[in-house]
Amino acid sequence: MATGAAKPSRNPLYALYQRGIRRSLTPETLPGHVAMIIDGNRRWARQLGLESAAHGHRAGAAKIREFLVWCDDLGIGMVTLYLLSNDNLVKRESEELTALIEIIEDLARDLSGFRDWRVQHVGSDDGLPASLVETLDEAEERSAAHPGLHVNLAVGYGGRHEIADAMRSIVSSHHLQGGTIEDLAAILTPELISEHLYTSGQPDPDLVIRTSGEQRMSDFMLWQSAHSELYFVEALGPDLREVDFLRALRDFANRQRRFGS
């Protein structure tokens, strides 16, 4: 694990330094799937004395699109964004949650019509407002045939809920087929569980990045990140810079991934 975030500099040597990191990255050393927890939006708003957390969430949403452009320009094929957790749905103030949901709706519409990106909702519809479910469904349908960057929007998401939902799906399917508990025990494998996750059919994330200096997963992709590399950035979400991301990629490229070996 690593941390990284330096203060901005207008020195031309700094831009040269950033280009140097970019040149050191090669396609074979880049992660194919990056998962991102853009955290610190509320703290960012408070530090600037803004009147509501919504200002921070809007700034974070703008940074998300910028971040996705960085990924796309480098040839990274898949990104998963943690936008709204199950815990957020029950623990956030109603006014903040309402604003956040509107921001996510706007983001989903924007991303599904930008470049040739494909947007997919990964999460549960349970507990989500009907307008948000409809917007996510429309964004997914609108971009389903797009061949470019695959963007997973983790909304109404929780790693524990995902695993529980996968197990319920497996048990229900097995029951409908007339199988016994003994049969189920014999066929229940990690591979079968993976097939019933929200991200079924997708590669697990190679790299998980979290902003704001917090070093925890917060119930994000618990199953899929079993062998992921983790990188923690000190910058708050809206303050994330391209050089911070490039440093994360350089760090990833220099690691020796063991996958439990």
The set of catalytic residues is 39, 88
CA distance readout (Å), 72 to 76, 106, 162: 6, 20, 27
Please tell me the distance from the alpha carbon of residue 81 to that of residue 60, in angstroms, as a whole number.
11
Calpha distance 122→82 (Å, rounded): 10
Check residue 218 and give left, alpha or beta (phi > 0: left; psi -120 to 50: alpha). Answer: left
Within 13 Å, how many C-alpha atoms sit on residue 225's CB side? 20
Q: What is the 8-class DSSP label of residue 212?
A: T
CB 244 within 8 A of CB 63: no
- Tracing tokens 């610190």 back to the chain, one arrives at 40
